[in-house]
Amino acid sequence: MSIKIRLTRGGSKKDAHYSIVVIQSTRKRDGKYIEKIGHYHPCVKDDAKRFHLNTERCSHWISVGALPTDIVVKLMKKASMDVAKFEKKIVQHKYQGVAKKDIPALKKKEAEEIKAAKAARIAAAAEQQSKVENATESQSAETAEDTTK
């Protein structure tokens, strides 16, 4: 099973506080956790009391394969940990910024380009094959002339 570093909610209505815990990914949000490695109190004004993260234990769990959630990655940044490998990479979609009505035309154009490229490869292969056949025929004719002499 995969292990995650995520938040569990505590506190009362409109006065939430969160524990940063190491937990199996299949467990409930507030389910049994493996280890508590910090806390986050968003309602507290004092920065020293608002957030705490045991960076050593967090680094240990990451080294053994635990994956932090997006919110925990932000909190790790606040704790000045190196989180470059956990930040999600923004993947550009192939048709991003294109109107939906234009996408079928683009797909059709791409299909035609693929067909043209395939035809060009087949033609090049056939030409190469004919050159090889001509070369073998001329070599066999030369060897036949040499054997008759």
Kindly state the helix (H) or strand (E) to which residue 101 belongs, with its residue range: none
Return the ∠ at Cα 23 (arms to 17 and 26), rounded to 5°.
110
The model's pTM: 0.55
Alpha helices in the chain (DSSP H): 47-50, 55-63, 70-78, 103-148
Q: Could you tell me which residue, 109 or 29, shows the higher pLDDT? A: 109
* Segment 20-49 mean pLDDT: 88
The model's confidence at residue 8, banded by pLDDT at 50, 70 and 90, is very high
- Evaluate if residue 92 carries a pLDDT over 70: no
* pLDDT single digits (tens) 45-89: 887 788 888 888 888 888 888 888 888 888 888 888 776 666 544
Q: What is the pLDDT of residue 91?
A: 41
- Evaluate if residue 143 carries a pLDDT over 80: no
Where are the domains positioned within the chain?
A: 3-78, 100-148
Q: What is the pLDDT of residue 145?
A: 66
Q: What is the mean pLDDT of the chain?
A: 82
- Evaluate if residue 93 carries a pLDDT over 60: no
* Segment 107-113 mean pLDDT: 89
CATH class of 3-78: alpha beta
